[in-house]
Structure 1
Amino acid sequence: MSTPKEQLDLFVAIIGDVPLRDDREMMSAPMVSLAKRSPKRLEWEGPSGQSVLITASEETGGIATIYDFDIILWAISQINAGVERGQKPGPTITFRPYDLMKSIGHSTGGKNYKQFKAAIKRLQGTRIETTLRRRDKDRNEVFNLLADYTLEEDDQGRPLGAQMTLPRWIHRAVVEGREVLAISPLYFELTRGLDRFLYRLARRHAGNGIDNRDGWVFTFKDLHKRSGSPAPYGQFARDLRSAIKRDALPTYSLSEEVGANGPLVRMEWRRLLL
């Protein structure tokens, strides 16, 4: 039986449509793998000295992917919705896997539940070491993308209920720092990891077309590093040009420009033609 303190810390997931939110710091740095066959280690150093080191436990086979991260997006959105309703949700969410999977656009059959279990295991086994929220001082923080999780199943292995706990690093950003940004529900329809990465980066930096009227520009080389892509730069550049041509991002358009230090990508809020 849980203690009164533990009961207060539990947040029961809200059923139905919840506005989607993302962690703004996690939108512009590699925290997961873009490839479904993920490596066991990724490392990045940002232009202002920020650093991220991602490693995976031996049991998971690789670090969590950007598709696995859908679960974290759902959890962030749930906690944020609780805050906006005047609650003070703790980092532990009680939920039904069926509701979560449906909310992020996944099918809910037995095979899909097995994929969900593998994803949540990778998230818990992915360790992040970062200085992203250092606030102008040396501050190295270490956490797993999920602190822990519990899955309850019947005798046939079918899901009954679940709990998962977000790391304090993410929970504080949502509840205390309010460091979240709204994202389009069409994000879940993006099937390519690179498109998902580009959308999150554009949402973080290009904004809503008001603050940054000309959008935001990144070099191809910077995007290669930020993405954490294991592909050689030449292959990544070809994939990036394909993404620009594909023009699949909700809300944002991409265009290539010539830069002094190599090709650039401009990310702009889509302007409606009236």
Structure 2
Amino acid sequence: MTKKDGRQPLLPDRYPTPDFFVCDIFDAVPKGDMASMEHPIFSISTKPDLTPREYEKNGVFVQVKPSSDGLATIHDRDVLIYCISQLMAGMNQGEEPSQLVRFRAHDFLKATNRVTSGMGYAGLKASLERLSGTRISTNITTGGQEIFETFGIIERARVVRETRDGRMQEIEIKLSDWVFNAIRSKEVLTLHRDYFRLRKPLERRIYEIARKHCGSKSDWKIRLDTLHEKTGSKSSIREFRRLVTAIADQDANHQHIPDYAVIYDDNEDMVKFINRGGLCRTNDVIAVPLPALDGDVYELARALAPGWDVYVLEQEWRNWSARIVNDGGSLPQNAEKAFLGFCRKRFAEKGSC
């Protein structure tokens, strides 16, 4: 437990389920777009952030301007993660993605581990307002295209249906071209379920950076000043060092940061991330054109590998298949059969996840 207030570093898992989602619309693994994982677009401040920010690295510039409600926060990003997850799940089942996404507010609150009281609905409404009001100017490349334009993180949001007491029931969101291009090009990464349980905004941002850069490698390290820049933190470097050290110390005691152990090296002033082993560790490989799997195969995969995230297994299988092809092998003649064989072998080797 933490020294300050006796709390565990992770929020309680308010809606525990063996497969994270409990009904059809929930049947999607949380995924984030790589562009916003790389650049400090979302504020990690716990107070309204009204300061415009600019970031430039290796020829890429990002300018983020807040509305009167403040910059969109890293917790507001949950809305994007949820929408991306739904669309990716549909694409994995052969469906054509749409820039318009409609969902039930209650489903969103449960999927992102939020309270379903009036406070949860009010928080969702505030998130939609900040996401719509925050404007981005950038030359980020998504979908193989370099984009020079200004846009909102989401183009618009509207309440399609309300309950009798005026509470949001069904919401429709139009994603920006920038986000939608990333989805269509599958420029997304799977996030751990416990991402939504991380209490501190800085912990979430650090995890995103590790997920993007460490990925499935065994370890990765970054200079503290570079990490400070990537997080978009407004703290002094001295205060940032203290915050990161506290997170690393707490992670050493609780192992609460998903997927990666966080270690601060005081001698080198660097932060190191060590893969906990939950992700497939591979070197970078050249992508190969494996076909989309039939939607029915995921239920069979769940039966063959109970307790495992079948979409993570799919990504590991695709990485493994790519290595085989890169080493001179051939693509499987029957993708579904090959994937199910991979799931069967993984469960036989490691048992339930």
TM-score, normalised to structure 2, is 0.67
1:64 and 2:72 equivalent? yes
1:234 aligned residue: 238
Label 1:81 to 1:134 Cα distance change in 2 as closer, same or farther (>3 A): closer
2:271 aligned residue: 265
| Identical-pair percentage | 28
Conservation of the 8 A alpha-carbon contact between 2:142 and 2:178 = no
How far residue 91 of structure 1 moved from its aligned partner, in angstroms, is 0.9
Label 1:53 to 1:99 Cα distance change in 2 as closer, same or farther (>3 A): same
Distance 2:186 2:163 in 1: 38
Label 1:256 to 1:130 Cα distance change in 2 as closer, same or farther (>3 A): same
Q: Which structure has greater strand proportion?
A: 1
1:98 aligned residue: 106
Q: Which runs of 5+ in 2 are unaligned?
A: 1-22, 279-349
1:19 and 2:29 equivalent? yes
Distance 1:98 1:134 in 2: 31
SS of the residue aligned with 2:131?
A: helix
SS of the residue aligned with 1:164?
A: strand
Label 1:42 to 1:249 Cα distance change in 2 as closer, same or farther (>3 A): farther
How far residue 134 of structure 1 moved from its aligned partner, in angstroms, is 7.4
Distance 1:53 1:108 in 2: 34
2:61 aligned residue: 51
Q: 2:169 aligns with which of 149, 160, 170?
A: 160
How far residue 233 of structure 1 moved from its aligned partner, in angstroms, is 1.4
How far residue 102 of structure 1 moved from its aligned partner, in angstroms, is 1.0
1:216-263 per-residue CA deviation (whole Å, 9 max, x = no partner) reads 22111111111111111111111011111111311101112367xx61
Distance 2:143 2:107 in 1: 37
How far residue 90 of structure 1 moved from its aligned partner, in angstroms, is 1.0
1:9 aligned residue: none
Distance 2:88 2:149 in 1: 22
How far residue 271 of structure 1 moved from its aligned partner, in angstroms, is 4.4
How far residue 16 of structure 1 moved from its aligned partner, in angstroms, is 2.5
Label 1:102 to 1:86 Cα distance change in 2 as closer, same or farther (>3 A): same
State the structure with more CA Rg.
2
Conservation of the 8 A alpha-carbon contact between 1:44 and 1:225 = no
Letter in 1 for 2:84: I
Trace 1:25-40 onto structure 2 (pairs within 5 A): 25-40=35-50
1:219 and 2:227 equivalent? no
1:169 and 2:169 equivalent? no
Label 1:256 to 1:17 Cα distance change in 2 as closer, same or farther (>3 A): same
RMSD after superposition: 2.3
SS of the residue aligned with 1:41?
A: coil
1:46-68 per-residue CA deviation (whole Å, 9 max, x = no partner) reads 4413211111122x2x1011111
1:182 and 2:190 equivalent? yes
Trace 1:2-13 onto structure 2 (pairs within 5 A): none
Letter in 1 for 2:96: K
Distance 1:85 1:253 in 2: 33
Distance 1:243 1:42 in 2: 27
Higher relative contact order (CA 8 A, sep 6+): 1
Label 1:140 to 1:147 Cα distance change in 2 as closer, same or farther (>3 A): same
How far residue 146 of structure 1 moved from its aligned partner, in angstroms, is 1.1
Distance 1:245 1:56 in 2: 34
Conservation of the 8 A alpha-carbon contact between 2:45 and 2:73 = yes
Q: 2:123 aligns with which of 98, 106, 115?
A: 115
Distance 2:76 2:130 in 1: 8
Distance 1:112 1:55 in 2: 26
Q: 1:254 aligns with which of 246, 255, 262?
A: 262
Distance 1:124 1:52 in 2: 17
Distance 1:120 1:104 in 2: 15
Distance 1:135 1:73 in 2: 18
